[in-house]
Amino acid sequence: MDKFEVYVDIRQLLKQGFSKAKIAKKLGISRPTLYRYLQKDPKEMADWVDSLQVRSKKLDPYKDKILSWLKENPDMSAAQVEDWLRERDSSLEISESTVRGYVRKLREDYDLPKEIRVRDYDVNSHFISSKNQIFFSNSSRLIYILLRQNVLNFLHISWEEFFYDHSA
């Protein structure tokens, strides 16, 4: 909520009969802040709010470039943005969290949601048929059980010999 909106809300709630402590609690501000706001008339408050400046960001000089990257590559992560920036300007001194916050803010301000790609973990049917897949799954389970029970060691058979002898 904007500081001037808080100021207006304070004035309205006072007119409605709320106590100053309840107003501060309701608006989520401290009582000293509430008293400071009440000492100002509307003109003073407006001038004070206008005088507050937004600090420039370290990455503002790269804003257009980062925006173009995010538009061209919607699935691009902040880590990738950081890598690309460092490739282009090795003297750039920024932290990972600075880049993450800046990219998050740009995505919000310019409505550039991150495209999430879902990984496909299915078995590629070109390489393994379902019959072989079941065989491999059952065989590896059996080998695991036999190894755990030291059966293969007792029979002096390696798992490779067991596997190849029983694959036919």
Position 146 in a domain: yes
Has residue 155 been placed in a domain? Answer: yes
Report yes or no: 63 and 75 within 8 Å, Cβ to Cβ.
no
Domain span including residue 24: 3-51
Structural domain contains residue 75: yes
- Given this model, what pLDDT does residue 138 score? 60
- What's the average pLDDT block by block, 10 residues per block, for the chain (168 residues)? 89 94 95 94 89 85 95 92 92 93 93 80 54 54 61 62 58
Instruction: Please count the structural domains in the chain.
Output: 3
Q: Are residues 105 and 64 in the same domain?
A: yes
Give me the CATH number covering residue 18: 1.10.10
Residue where the block lists tokens 């003073």: 44
115 lies in some domain: no
Can you give the pLDDT at residue 110? 92
Q: 117 in a domain, yes or no?
A: no
pLDDT of residue 2: 87
pLDDT value at residue 48: 87
Q: What is the pLDDT of residue 127?
A: 53
14 & 47 share domain: yes
Classify residue 87: in a domain, yes or no.
Answer: yes
- Chain-centre distance of CA 161, in angstroms? 49
**pLDDT on residue 59:** 94
Exposed e or buried b for every residue in 69-87, given b needs 16+ CB within 10 A? Answer: bbeeeeebebeebbebbee
Q: Choose the final residue of a domain: 12, 34, 51.
A: 51
Global confidence as pTM: 0.47
In a domain, 123, yes or no: no
- Classify residue 134: in a domain, yes or no: yes
**pLDDT for the residue 49:** 86
Are 59 and 105 in contact, with CB atoms under 8 Å apart? no
Supply the pLDDT for residue 156: 66
pLDDT attached to residue 148: 60
